Structure 1
Amino acid sequence: MSPVHPLDETTTAWAVIDENGTLVRWNEGARHLLGHAPADVEGRPATDLLAPGATPPADDPGASRWSGTLALRHRDGHTLSVWLLAHREPGGGWLVLTPVAPPDPPVPDDPMIRAVLDQSPCAMAVYDTRLRLYGANAAMTGVIGLPGDRVRGLRLSEIGGKRESEQLEAAARAVLLSGKGRDMETYLRTGGEDRAHAWLARIAPLTDAEGRTLGVCLTAHDFTEHYMARKRLQIVNEASVRIGSTLDVTRTAQELADVFVPVLADFVSVDLLDPPEHGAEHRVEPPTAPITLRRAAHRSVNPGSPEAVVAPGDVDVYPALSPHADSLIAGRTTVAPDSDATLHEWLGWDGSRAERVARYGIHTTMSVPIRARGQTLGVAVLSRYQRLDPFTPEDVLLAEEVTARAAVCIDNARRFSRERETALALQRSLLPQSPARTAAVEVASRYLPAARAGVGGDWFDVILLSGMRVAMVVGDVVGHGIQASATMGRLRTAVRTLADIDLAPDELLTHLDDLVVRLSVEAGAEGTTGEVGATCLYAVYDPVSRRCSLARAGHPPPVVLPPGGPAREIELPAGPPLGLGGLPFESVELDLPEGTVLALFTDGLIESRERDIDAGQELLSDTLEEHSDSLEGACHAILRRLLPVGGAPDDVALLLARTRGLPASQVATWDIPADPSLVAPIRKQVVGQLDDWGLSEATFTTELVVSELVTNAIRYGEPPIRLRLIHDATTLICEVSDSSHTAPHLRRARIFDEGGRGLLLVAQLTQRWGSRHTTDGKTIWAELTLVEE
């Protein structure tokens, strides 16, 4: 406490006693009072200053102030009876003081004025130019809780001994220097009160007829009821704004704790019941002890929440005697201590908690059940120790109102999280689990669900086609949630089925559009809006011809990066989104040199509130050019550069593919005359080609397959007929093409049938086989594996 006047050091005698009872500071006022120099008493026990036979006051650990009269020993040996005021220091010691030279007592000039001052319900005090108490009426001494004649001569901060008192003294000093009055609000518990009150302090200068400042007058008005109503309204308004900002359970629980501290409690913990297994709802009836709770959040007036025994995310078990279990079992708010239980009895089950309570001086707790829609979700426990007043019934009502708001938000977040996890599990189960191994392309992919909107219907796929070709598809179903994920799965399955019959991209999208129209009709029949929509991009790449055919249905166009760059957007007719029905789609075919990188993606990657789609497309192209050496690295760099730090607002699917070319030396083609007698020479040429390729171990099976497919083409097909062999390190493909559009099919031959067993034999000998229609007819193909399993 810094003096406001040079003589203040001698107007108040004060000394500081540490927690061990040793005098550590002694001022000039104390020297003037008892005659001892600081060097004579500092470092000695404070009891040495007591007169013989005097008894030191008992130290009450719960008291923050003491006042009384003690017999002290003067330096010259005589005894002084001194009234002392002591304030407990933050470290556990005491600041002991007493006025040395109080001002002269005021002389009442008018009995009416003196009666008004003494009998006024408004607390008033007058301070002189040194800000020492000159006089106070009965109402003010009642607020202070100390005799008025004893504290005269002390400064306001010396009487109050709290930070709020020092702020009031600083305000009074400003009034004294400026000559202008001011108002100040404070909330504290004075020595004459059993609980804290809100005070409106009006400080005004006192001047004489010539305008000279004689001191300041302080009047205190108790407006606790208005202050608490305003505070409650402020807390409720703040809770409605702050709680539930996201659909995250932990974040919502933390927001609840943040709202309560420090306006209602000094420490708050929020503990939640773990959700039931298999997505079930919480039980309506109250839980039974012991209760297992998980710490979702806590908040303290002290950094790091040192009062907490359980860390966020950890689980603890609470028996029936705990405040957590008591309130949950009773289904109502409980406060301890109360008429039924003391705080000590409530904490007897846990020694570590009892130790924290004793260390920080926690004197009261309030446990509020978190309930929503008739279900118990958890409990919020509020504790006080810096605030000396216990919880009032108004505090309980306020805590219950705020907690009820938070409970609905927590329940919404839990329901959203459960649906999100279900949809995400469904989504990931429907997406490719590992990249397809193909000789046509090298691929890398990423899928990221939306950060807040929930899982959507984005998907990608890489589909192996006949002739070592590969199909790449990226799609986006409108909407989010389980329904979107389920629709995505149906469309992905449909694309794979349609790709298996080797439809051209535009034809495949036409069939897919019909499917989406039917899904919309089915959805409408179930009582929903019936609006099912999607976008899709479908591309087929042939490593032999190094050509790629693409078509899109309302989907963002892909980006292509040829060897040496630059990256550019492929000009591709947009096509209508899937689900409109009856509108055509167009395919585009282009040459892709070996090493070309294709980027297929959904709109969540390039759309952003901070930039338009064109800027996003350009940023994607630049990033792809910078990191094209590694597709995995490019995926990582693209997502990091284009998506916000907090996560994408929409689902993102990204598929990168680097094309490979099949050398001409690995392809052999023969034109076959429609003459059955030439089948044997063809077989010999095939055997010779296999010897040249070093694939002699596949000769027997290949001869049988070639013989059967060529014979069938000669018998049932139409010229021209062509045989093609393709191989890579693991697969050998036999293809026979003719001009007929009649597709072959398997049939079971009877015992005495002379034919009908050829395709069955092919199916047994090969890894897989099939047919595809072309513009000139059809192609029958069969794949033989070259790697022993």
Structure 2
Amino acid sequence: MHAGTTVELLCRLETEPTPDGGRAVVVVEVSDHHPARAVRARQASSADETRGHGLQLVGAVAESWGITYRRDLKTVWFRLLAGPHDRVYGPPARFSQDDPDLQRDLRAAELLAPAPVRRSPARRSDADWINHGALSFLAEASDLLSGQLDEEQVALLAAQLVVPRLADWCAVWLYDGGSRDSSGAPPRLARVWHSSEGRIDALRMALEKDPPVLPVPGPQRDGAGAAVPWPWPQEPSGYGPGGAALACRLLAGGRDQGALLIGRAGLMRFPDEVVGLIEDLTRRVARAVATARAYRNQERISQVLQRRLLPRGPATVPGLESSVVYEPREGAWAGGDFWDLFDAGDGRWCFALGDVCGSGPEAAAVTGLARPVLRLLARDGYGVGEVLDRLNKTMAREATDSVAAVAAAVAAAGPGPDAAVELRAEAEQTRFLSLLYGEIVPHADGTAGARCTLASAGHPLPLVLGAGGGVRVAAAPQMLLGVVEDTSYESESFDLAPGETLLCVTDGVTERRCGHRLFDDDDGLAGHLTACTGLGATAVAEHIRRAVHAFAATPPDDDLALLVLQATERR
């Protein structure tokens, strides 16, 4: 196989009903469980090239053939007519592994030599193929395209779906700005495909000179994606001896995404059945391109938000060692968890570990509101309880507006600026925030250790690991931020002695699930923390992180964040 993957080969004998009783057919299926793996780069072609002719060989000898795509499987199948069972051509031949006929590599020219003789009479008409396989073809195309979030991959799949089933070659153009209206530039030739791989480069060179710019239809025809005849290229060396060509606009959501151009040698015009099928396929391709671009734009927004959410790095606190683990859940844009550790002035260092009730850009918007407000209040000299009081009022009043603004921005980045923005019930809850917030003040007399004051607002409670291995809870539970505006928050203070470790985590740690069990069931987190006795802050953080990942076989389905502060001896 070109991609170097392992394949499964299945052969079976079937009886196909015919008017005179039936005929035997051999069905061969070749399945690849890695259909998205990149094909290995081919070396410069030579006259005795023996690879890359698989589908040509299948098309030459098969009575019918096709490709079936699934999420994680690609199957090439073909059917061969079997000869009569009662015909005897002579005694069975005997071969050994050393037989030179078995060891000889057949050249592609030998394998394909019968193609011109066999293919023409055996080839089904377009009407016959479409009547028997059009619905299956469109269903497979929809299933394959719907899972793609990369517009370049969509263009590649579109070309390979068309060739060689419906055309001899295909080209896909895309507008780099996201649409014809927004880019203002000619479309870019994103993909070229030809049934003869050796002609792809020549085809690309010829097509790049003249990109198709199709007229924009009126509003009443918006979304039609009608195919129009297109002049056959002037350089037949890249296309074949001459034939018919069709061009279709890739139109989705009222926006021109690009164009699809196909050609088939030896025709004066495409049959109506093929034109209709191409138009159906083009609409699916256009929607897939638009979806991929919407995903790309939303991902870009989330990446910008996430960069603003995370501090550049933890501040250095005198007499303390710190370590942070921050892992957004697999496939997430911007995590709903956040952390901070900063110098608040007057010999105070403040820390925070929070978790927004939600995910995606909406959660990132709430984090982007909470973190700067928290820093501002801390540097204005407010104590821990006062910071939470004021942040709670801010969350209750302002967070919903921030979420709505980001939802509107995300919607504009997707289907279009006129798309309706709906604030879901999940987004309404996004203004709620669980937060563990505190401040560290190293002892003024220069002795080792520090005074710690903290409060937990609806957050997993912090744990303190003593130098002797004992673990204690360091705060009392209180109300989530943003739920009740007039809630008052209380803080607790204690000394963090040398060798003692403060562990703060989000619910991505405590609620890590394995079946019906949670990571923190039966004080599981405290047990793992006890096992960290004698370790430094970085080693403690890594031990807990590994324990969380090892708790279940599947990747975590929530953000994972933890902050470790350990008092050290003064130097």
Match of 1:113 in 2: none
Asked if the contact 1:272/1:379 (under 8 Å) is kept, the reply is yes
| Bigger Cα displacement from structure 2, 362-371 vs 498-507 | 362-371
1:369 to 245, 249, 263: 249
Residues 294, 406 of structure 1: CA spacing in aligned structure 2 closer, same or farther, 3 A cutoff? closer
Q: Quote how far apart the aligned CAs of 1:473 are.
A: 0.2
Q: Quote how far apart the aligned CAs of 1:612 are.
A: 6.0
Asked if the contact 1:606/1:613 (under 8 Å) is kept, the reply is no
1:495 to 371, 374, 382: 374
Match of 1:660 in 2: 568
1:421 aligned onto 2:291: no
1:580 to 483, 500, 515: 483
Residues 345-393 of structure 1, C-alpha deviation per residue, up to 9 Å, x if partnerless? Answer: 1567xxxxx2xx57xx9987655432212222234455779x9999643
Q: How does 1:157-176 map to 2 (within 5 A)?
A: 162-164=61-63, 168-170=80-82, 172-173=84-85
Match of 1:540 in 2: 439
Identity %: 25
Q: How does 1:35-114 map to 2 (within 5 A)?
A: none
The residue matched to 1:578 in structure 2 has which SS? coil
The residue matched to 1:284 in structure 2 has which SS? helix
Match of 2:545 in 1: 638
Q: How does 1:330-369 map to 2 (within 5 A)?
A: 341-343=231-233, 345=234, 354=238, 367-369=247-249
1:478 aligned onto 2:365: no
* Structure 1: stretches of 5+ with no match in the other structure: 1-121, 128-159, 177-187, 199-223, 276-280, 349-353, 664-789
Q: How does 1:402-417 map to 2 (within 5 A)?
A: 402-417=281-296
The residue matched to 2:314 in structure 1 has which SS? coil
Q: Quote how far apart the aligned CAs of 1:228 are.
A: 1.9
Match of 1:455 in 2: 334
1:557 to 461, 469, 474: 461
Residues 297-326 of structure 1, C-alpha deviation per residue, up to 9 Å, x if partnerless? Answer: x88889xx776549xxxx9996453xxx22
The residue matched to 2:354 in structure 1 has which SS? strand
What is the identity, as a one-letter code, of the residue corresponding to 1:393?
Answer: D
Q: How does 1:60-209 map to 2 (within 5 A)?
A: 162-164=61-63, 168-170=80-82, 172-173=84-85, 196-197=123-124
The residue matched to 1:437 in structure 2 has which SS? coil
**Which structure is larger by alpha-carbon Rg, 1 or 2?**
1
Looking at structure 2, the residues matched to 282 and 237 of structure 1 have their Cα atoms a distance apart, in angstroms, of 26
1:603 aligned onto 2:510: no
CA RMSD, Structure 1 to Structure 2 (Å): 5.3
1:378 to 239, 255, 258: 258
Asked if the contact 1:287/1:329 (under 8 Å) is kept, the reply is no
Match of 2:181 in 1: 284
Match of 1:241 in 2: 143
Asked if the contact 1:286/1:329 (under 8 Å) is kept, the reply is no
Residues 273-319 of structure 1, C-alpha deviation per residue, up to 9 Å, x if partnerless? Answer: 223xxxxx634399665x43445xx88889xx776549xxxx99964
Match of 1:59 in 2: none
Asked if the contact 1:284/1:374 (under 8 Å) is kept, the reply is no
The residue matched to 1:540 in structure 2 has which SS? strand
What is the identity, as a one-letter code, of the residue corresponding to 2:257?
Answer: L
What is the identity, as a one-letter code, of the residue corresponding to 2:312?
Answer: Q
Residues 261, 656 of structure 1: CA spacing in aligned structure 2 closer, same or farther, 3 A cutoff? farther
Residues 10-36 of structure 1, C-alpha deviation per residue, up to 9 Å, x if partnerless? Answer: xxxxxxxxxxxxxxxxxxxxxxxxxxx
Q: How does 1:760-775 map to 2 (within 5 A)?
A: none
Looking at structure 2, the residues matched to 463 and 553 of structure 1 have their Cα atoms a distance apart, in angstroms, of 20
Residues 323-349 of structure 1, C-alpha deviation per residue, up to 9 Å, x if partnerless? Answer: xx22656886768xx7x6334x1567x
Residues 161-218 of structure 1, C-alpha deviation per residue, up to 9 Å, x if partnerless? Answer: 8343996553632899xxxxxxxxxxx99869678327xxxxxxxxxxxxxxxxxxxx
Asked if the contact 1:450/1:649 (under 8 Å) is kept, the reply is yes
What is the identity, as a one-letter code, of the residue corresponding to 2:188?
Answer: T
Match of 2:496 in 1: 592
The residue matched to 1:235 in structure 2 has which SS? helix
Looking at structure 1, the residues matched to 553 and 251 of structure 2 have their Cα atoms a distance apart, in angstroms, of 34
What is the identity, as a one-letter code, of the residue corresponding to 2:179?
Answer: H
Asked if the contact 2:433/2:481 (under 8 Å) is kept, the reply is yes
Match of 2:314 in 1: 435
| Bigger Cα displacement from structure 2, 500-509 vs 639-648 | 639-648
What is the identity, as a one-letter code, of the residue corresponding to 2:274?
Answer: D
Asked if the contact 1:420/1:481 (under 8 Å) is kept, the reply is no
Aligned length: 443
Q: How does 1:241-320 map to 2 (within 5 A)?
A: 241-245=143-147, 247-250=149-152, 252-253=154-155, 256=158, 260=162, 264=166, 270-275=172-177, 282-284=179-181, 289=186, 291-294=187-190, 309=201, 319=208
TM-score normalised over the length of structure 2: 0.60
Asked if the contact 1:326/1:334 (under 8 Å) is kept, the reply is no
* Structure 2: stretches of 5+ with no match in the other structure: 1-17, 24-58, 65-77, 89-114, 218-224, 406-421, 444-448
Residues 398-434 of structure 1, C-alpha deviation per residue, up to 9 Å, x if partnerless? Answer: 2332332232233233223223322321331243123
Looking at structure 2, the residues matched to 636 and 250 of structure 1 have their Cα atoms a distance apart, in angstroms, of 41
Match of 1:686 in 2: none
Asked if the contact 1:516/1:578 (under 8 Å) is kept, the reply is yes
Q: How does 1:726-765 map to 2 (within 5 A)?
A: none
Looking at structure 2, the residues matched to 393 and 519 of structure 1 have their Cα atoms a distance apart, in angstroms, of 58
Looking at structure 1, the residues matched to 303 and 322 of structure 2 have their Cα atoms a distance apart, in angstroms, of 23
Residues 232, 645 of structure 1: CA spacing in aligned structure 2 closer, same or farther, 3 A cutoff? farther
Asked if the contact 2:327/2:560 (under 8 Å) is kept, the reply is yes
